[in-house]
Amino acid sequence: MKIYLKLAWRNIWRNKRRTIITVSAIIFAVMLAIILQSVNRGSYEVMIDRMVSFNTGYVQIQDMRYDEESSLDNSFWYDEELRDRILNADLRIERMAPRIETFMLAANHTSTRGSVVFGKNPQKEKKFNDFENYLSEGRLFEMNEQSVVLARGLAERLQLGVADTLVLIGQGRFGMSASGLFEIVGILDHPVRQLNNNGVFMALDTAQHLLSAEGYITGLMIAPVHERQTNSVASSLKEELKDEELAVYTWPELIPELLELMEMDLATPRLLTVVLYVVIGFGFLGTILTMTLERLREFGVLLSVGMQRFKLSAVLFIETIFISIIGVLAGIAVAWLILVLIDPIYLTGEAAQAVIDMGFDPVIPMSFAADQFYRQGFFVFLVAVAVFMFPLIKISRLNILDAARS
């Protein structure tokens, strides 16, 4: 094998210019494919992180009826015993945050708006997201406090500010009347646009008392130590809670529309990547085709002195792989360097304002997910295998006498 590697390495540098051109084409294809995917995935990673941290959690436990009917009647009892069972079910669970959520009317002295009221534990929310960092005015509520934090959009619609009083009117658990007056202690610029337009946030125990749901929650948000452990943690929890009237969901199951949007949006760069590799594949084929036809006499001599055809094919295959490896590694290195240098991209002008209006920061982060790097090597390997079919067929059908005369 060592001899074959030496032969292959020397052969690819017999025509340096041709090899360099081929390697350069692979470098360009790999680099462009990685950058295209990194830009798109970076934006979606931020979107997913916000939706997961502020809305669904990586894993969420609900009453089994809550998904079909999001009503307080379908909340579930949450106490220390259940908390310990969940934590002991899988040691990869890093943090949990209980929440209660419902729709209520929010009003000032003259007008009313629909709102979504969230009851949260502020200490546990700090571990789950940067909720407090989005406060633009005032402070965060505390447990056992008759106060709320209002999302910026809703505050502007109701023309309310810090130290004003918010009226909440709605229905509690099992049809109980739910209404109260709450001091506004903070204004929040929520990173999720929809919640920024209608969100009201208060302490969990305050919300439970308001809704006649003491001890009950509508959802338990769970985060594993690593994101990749989401599905395995969910499986462990399903096994632990299989005898309870509780359902365990992962975030893709709770917000499938976001995944569908991502898949649709990523279709274009994926198509461009396929087209790019097809073009590069034909260029690669041209190089291997030329190398093979120029060396037919050499192949004939080698076969005539006793070299077996499969060994000769192995040397050519190693040559193809060498060119691919050089191109892929160099392409990954160049792409990584470019991504490091441009990460993140800060938008300005109208583009920045358009992104801000959509509820996002005017920044395009780059994704450094490992799979988008090694996946390009796999694609180039497939191209190399397909290209190798030509010299393989040529050698298998090669007539030694005809090759020696060429």
* Reported pTM: 0.69
Mean pLDDT of 280-306: 76
In the prediction, which pLDDT does 208 show?
93
Phi, psi of 23 (to 5 degrees): -60, -40
Mean pLDDT of 267-280: 78
Mean pLDDT of 282-308: 76
Residue 351: band (very low, low, confident or very high) from pLDDT cuts 50, 70, 90: low
Cβ-Cβ contacts under 8 Å for 112 (sequence gap 6 or more): 105, 106, 169
In the prediction, which pLDDT does 183 show?
93
Q: Please, what is the average pLDDT of the chain? A: 83
Written as six digits, the tokens of 56 are 């669904």
How many angstroms separate the CA atoms of 130 and 386, rounded? 49
Residue 302: band (very low, low, confident or very high) from pLDDT cuts 50, 70, 90: confident
In the prediction, which pLDDT does 343 show?
77
Cβ-Cβ contacts under 8 Å for 205 (sequence gap 6 or more): 119, 143, 144, 214
Asked whether the CA dihedral 242, 218, 216, 223 is positive or negative, the reply is positive
How many angstroms separate the CA atoms of 102 and 99, rounded? 10
Residue 100: band (very low, low, confident or very high) from pLDDT cuts 50, 70, 90: very high
Comparing 404 with 176, which gets the higher pLDDT? 176
Across 102-106, 215-219, 343-347, least confident range:
343-347
In the prediction, which pLDDT does 401 show?
67
pLDDT at 255 over 70: yes
Q: pLDDT per residue over 163-200, tens digit each?
A: 899 999 999 888 888 899 999 999 988 877 778 888 99
Q: pLDDT per residue over 119-140, tens digit each?
A: 998 888 877 777 778 888 889 8
In the block, tokens 């050698």 appear at: 395
In the prediction, which pLDDT does 365 show?
78
Across 62-66, 104-108, 261-265, 283-287, least confident range:
261-265
Comparing 81 with 43, which gets the higher pLDDT? 81
Q: Are 150 and 140 in contact (CB under 8 A)?
A: no
Written as six digits, the tokens of 186 are 């903070």
In the prediction, which pLDDT does 107 show?
92
pLDDT at 263 over 80: no
Could you tell me the residue ranges of all domains in the chain?
2-50+258-405, 65-244
b vs e for 329-349, b when ≥16 Cβ sit within 10 Å of the residue's Cβ?
ebbbebbbeebeeebeeebee
Mean pLDDT of 336-356: 75
Comparing 344 with 147, which gets the higher pLDDT? 147
Percentage of the residues of the chain whose pLDDT score is greater than 70: 94
